[in-house]
Amino acid sequence: MPRAYKGKKTVKLKSNRGAAKRFRKTAGGFKCSGAKRRHQMTCKTTKMKRHARAGFIVRDEDTGRVEQMLPHA
């Protein structure tokens, strides 16, 4: 251990576990899944289900917050 620490350990950076389950890092930013896909699919229209199938890229204004929650991504 370098002398600068003098017995003090640095604090570990921890990922937000809720964000780690919802976002994945890609070359174009962070990927997330669409909403309204968990239950009660029988009452939703085919068009709504089809459009919810695709993944989404996190918007530019939210990317900073996601990066803060996932320091190791």
Return d(Cα 42, Cα 29) in angstroms, integer. Answer: 33
Would you put residue 24 in left (φ > 0), alpha (ψ -120 to 50) or beta?
beta
Give the pLDDT band (50/70/90) at residue 63. very high
pLDDT tens column, 9-59: 788 899 999 999 999 999 989 999 888 888 999 999 999 989 888 889 999
Dihedral of CA 57/62/21/68: which sign?
A: positive
pLDDT at 20: 95
What residue ranges do the domains of the chain occupy? Answer: 23-69
The pLDDT assigned to 4 comes to 63
